[in-house]
Every structure is written in structure tokens, then in C-alpha cells.
């Protein structure tokens, strides 16, 4: 693809007009970031079908600004562990440049409040604090990609199984937690935006079906969400940016669950823009059901919808000696083998189904999370030191029921879109071929 270089003022967001459709544009009256990231490198999408190492069927009617997203939260800890990423020619290259070159236009980055123990040892899973989000977000912005900040409002993983309160908020009642969440959101966004990161979307919570910050009553969860929403709106106004607010759910195959949860948001008059859904085809039901859920939200609640997380395996091999979440043998989806082409087909078909349902885009989850050492050696010292495994032993006190029982390396390396040595797979190019397709060379 043709590479284009553009010098944009400050954040690279607005210099009278937007310089490229992939970058956001703040108003001239908004607060300007104190960090100038310099040249912004962007890439054109193809304007016709191409030949490639994979076959991709074109998706009718998909727009150029459809979100072709990638969660790349683990990159910093992996690079600290010695991982190197390469381009398609085998030369070492910033992984964010490779993602942008491959058609990715949005990067999602999780944020934990304080993922360290009292001695400063990281909990693992990327050690994703605010400073890490800034470093990753700046790199994404420099390659013309928008950024989605995914606040978990926890010091470690937040999902339907666990929504632990940050250590600093322990003992607080819901009113105090709401105030703390508001302050944390505002302070964090101020640091991230001031650092020049092109934040265009913010998740206020991660997979919050069963609560957040140890709050389980719907009224308490709504109160926390309202504090997060208020903080985002205020920072959006201050910086003159239209930052979209996302509420994120999963368990979409459970009949009526998401509809009920979104109905609660409507009844409570929560101020937000987008419902994000996790959809892993090997866990979360059929494509048809996913389309049905997306359409229901759009039609019943007049809200935008995106697939906030999806993925698939390209191999059944284990890259680091830590068992994989999706083995890639008898647990795969019929018709989608654990191959590079099978992965590309699955990604393309998720995008097609989401587009047909009227979603605004799809984020692939952690397509950059590769091994830090071969499966034939003990990599535990690296995982512990740099937080590049899913959890370290230091997380045990905070997360005793999971990290306290089993911790270690990456369970996702066979679902990455880079091989075990950091070379991009041909399936990564599916992002740029969605509109016009590709024939296999």
C-alpha cells in the first residue's frame, strides 16, 4: 500500500481540518496536548482486489471507516521480555506500523488501576497501568490509528467471573467508590490525552454482566457507570473531542441476558454511546445469534453496537509451554480449521456478520500476544519479571481464586496473528482485504 506522511499539529488531530479520515479531529477551542508526536504515518486501503498468501472473500457494503480493531495491550511487556516483531519482509519493525500497514485502524488498550504488589512486582497480563497505556497509545497514534481505552476499574483482570475492587478502594461504600472511579477516570484520561494519544473511545468497565468493582446490585453498578460516563464527557468537552462511551457485555448466547442489561441502562438514563459485545465463536454461540443480538440492541434501544472482542486460532501448537485456552483440535468451530487460512476465514466471517447486522466494527483480541521463549524451556522467570504471562505469582493475594491457583505464560499464543517468533501471518492482512477481497497467489 502507498505510505503517506503527514505532519499534524500537537496530537495530530486538528490543524484547521482533519488530515486523514483515520484520525479524530478535536475542536480548535479544546485543550491541546502538551506532547507533539510529530509525523503521523498512515496507509491507504486497497482500491481493488489483490493477490496474497490467503484468500479473502469481499464483504459487500463494508465501509472504509468500519472499525478494523486490534487489542494490543500486551505489547510493552512482551518487548520488555525480549520479544521482537517483524514486517512482511522479515525486517524488525514497530508492531504498530505492521498493524496499520495491514489495515488495522483502531487499537484497544486495557487499563488497570494498580497492577503491582506492595513491593512493585507486577501481576502480569501486560502490567497494564496508565503509563503503559500512554506508551502504547502514542505508538498507535503515530501510525494513524484511533485508540479505545478499556478501563477495567480493577487492579487485574475484570470479567463475568471476577470484578475485584482496586486495592486503593477497598472498604469504600458505593458512594465513595463512585467518587474514586470518577477521579481515576478523569485523572487517567487527562494524562493519556495530554500525552498526545488519539483517544476516540472509552470503555467504562469490562464485561460487566455480573457487576463491577465488587458491586453486584444493578443500582450500584449504574451509579458507578454514571460516574465513569460523567468523567469521560467532561474530558471530552475539555479537549474538544467527541469521545464515544462504551458499555461492554459478554454471554451473548444466554437468552435475553444482554437485552435485560441494556434495558436497565435505558431505565436508568445512562449517558453512553455504544454497546460492546464479546463474541468468541468457540464459546459464544453462532454467527446468526450474534447478528440477532446486535440487531436487537440497535432496534430496541437505538444504540450503536460493536464487537469488542473476538479471536481464533491458526495452529494447535503451544508456543511457550503454557496450555492454550483454545487448543485447536476438538474444540474448534466446524468449517474453520486451525490454520492461517482458517483464522483468516473466521475473522472475515465475523466482520461480515457484524457488518450485515449493522455493527460499527470489530476488535480482534490480543493478536500480538506471542511467546517470550520456546515451549521447550522454562520461561517462568521472564513471565514473573516482566508480566508477559497471563498472571504472575505476585497476583495471588489480589486474585486468589485464579492467579493464586494457576499462573504462568500466555494461553493465547496460537490465536495471535503473528507467529511464535514475531513474524506477521498472512491472516493479518485480512483487515485490509475486507472490502475488495484477495485471491490466493
Q: How far apart are CA 151 and CA 147, in angstroms?
A: 13
101 carries an active-site annotation: no
Q: How far apart are CA 367 and CA 414, in angstroms?
A: 9
Which value, in Å, is the radius of gyration of the alpha carbons in the chain?
20
Per DSSP, the residues of 280-329 read: -TTTS--HHHHHHHHHHHHHHH--EEEEEEE---S-S--SSSS--SS-SS
Look at residues 426, 438, 347 and name the one whose alpha carbon lies nearest to residue 57.
438
Phi first, then psi: give them for residue 137, nearest 5 degrees.
-65, -35
Catalytic residue among 97, 101, 309, 426: 309
The 10 Å CB-count burial string (b at 16+, else e) for 322-348 is bebbbebeeebbeebbbbbbbbbbbbb
Which run of H or E residues covers position 226?
A: helix 218-239
Catalytic residue among 55, 79, 207, 366: 207
CB 414 within 8 A of CB 319: yes
428: which DSSP letter? G
CB 417 within 8 A of CB 329: no
309 carries an active-site annotation: yes
CB 185 within 8 A of CB 133: no
Q: To the nearest 10°, the Cα dihedral for 145, 347, 412, 134? A: 10
Q: How far is CA 149 from CA 10, 82, 110, 309, 433, in A?
A: 20, 25, 6, 13, 26
Give the long-range contacts of residues 216-224, CB within 8 A, separation 24 or more.
218/264, 219/268, 220/174, 222/264, 222/265, 222/268, 222/270, 223/174, 223/175, 223/178, 224/153, 224/174, 224/177, 224/178, 224/181
CB 388 within 8 A of CB 124: yes
List the catalytic residues.
207, 309
Amino acid at each position: 500500500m502507498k505510505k503517506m506522511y503527514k505532519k499534524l499539529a500537537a496530537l495530530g488531530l486538528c490543524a484547521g481540518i482533519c488530515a486523514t479520515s483515520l484520525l479524530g479531529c478535536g475542536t480548535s477551542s479544546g485543550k491541546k496536548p502538551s506532547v507533539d508526536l510529530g509525523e503521523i504515518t498512515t496507509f491507504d486501503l486497497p482500491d481493488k482486489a489483490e493477490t496474497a498468501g490467503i484468500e479473502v472473500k469481499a464483504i459487500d457494503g463494508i465501509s472504509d471507516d468500519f472499525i478494523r480493531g486490534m487489542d494490543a495491550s500486551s505489547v510493552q511487556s512482551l518487548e520488555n521480555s525480549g520479544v521482537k516483531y517483524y514486517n512482511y519482509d522479515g525486517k524488525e519493525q514497530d508492531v504498530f506500523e505492521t498493524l496499520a500497514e495491514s489495515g488495522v485502524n483502531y487499537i484497544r488498550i486495557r487499563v488497570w488501576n494498580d497492577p503491582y504488589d506492595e513491593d512493585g512486582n507486577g501481576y502480569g497480563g501486560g502490567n497494564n497501568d496508565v503509563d503503559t497505556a500512554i506508551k502504547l497509545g502514542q505508538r498507535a497514534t503515530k501510525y494513524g490509528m484511533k485508540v479505545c481505552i478499556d478501563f477495567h476499574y480493577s487492579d487485574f483482570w475484570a470479567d463475568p467471573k471476577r470484578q475485584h475492587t482496586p486495592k486503593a478502594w477497598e472498604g469504600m461504600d458505593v458512594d465513595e467508590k463512585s467518587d474514586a472511579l470518577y477521579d481515576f477516570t478523569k485523572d487517567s484520561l487527562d494524562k493519556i490525552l495530554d500525552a498526545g494519544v488519539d483517544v476516540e473511545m472509552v470503555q467504562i468497565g469490562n464485561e460487566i454482566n455480573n457487576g463491577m468493582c465488587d458491586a453486584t446490585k444493578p443500582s450500584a453498578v449504574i451509579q458507578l457507570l454514571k460516574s465513569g460516563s460523567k468523567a469521560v464527557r467532561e474530558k471530552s468537552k475539555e479537549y474538544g473531542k467527541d469521545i464515544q462511551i462504551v458499555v461492554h457485555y459478554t454471554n451473548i448466547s444466554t437468552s435475553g441476558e444482554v437485552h435485560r442489561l441494556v434495558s436497565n441502562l435505558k431505565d436508568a438514563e445512562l449517558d453512553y454511546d455504544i454497546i460492546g459485545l464479546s463474541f468468541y465463536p468457540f464459546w459464544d454461540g453462532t454467527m446468526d445469534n450474534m447478528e440477532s443480538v446486535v440487531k436487537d440492541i440497535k432496534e430496541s434501544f437505538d444504540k450503536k453496537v460493536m464487537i469488542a472482542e473476538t479471536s481464533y486460532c491458526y495452529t494447535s501448537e503451544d508456543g511457550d509451554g503454557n496450555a492454550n485456552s483454545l487448543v485447536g483440535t476438538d474444540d474448534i468451530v466446524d468449517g474453520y480449521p486451525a490454520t492461517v487460512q482458517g483464522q483468516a476465514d473466521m475473522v472475515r466471517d465475523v466482520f461480515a456478520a457484524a457488518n450485515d447486522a449493522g455493527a460499527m466494527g470489530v476488535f480482534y483480541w490480543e493478536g500480538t500476544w506471542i511467546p517470550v521463549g520456546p515451549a521447550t524451556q522454562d520461561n517462568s522467570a521472564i513471565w514473573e519479571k516482566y508480566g508477559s504471562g497471563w498472571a504472575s505469582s505476585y497476583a495471588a493475594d489480589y486474585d486468589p481464586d485464579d492467579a493464586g491457583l494457576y499462573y504462568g505464560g500466555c494461553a493465547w499464543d496460537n490465536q495471535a496473528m503473528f507467529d511464535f517468533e514475531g513474524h506477521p501471518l498472512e491472516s493479518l492482512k485480512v483487515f485490509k482485504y475486507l472490502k475488495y477481497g484477495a485471491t490466493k497467489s
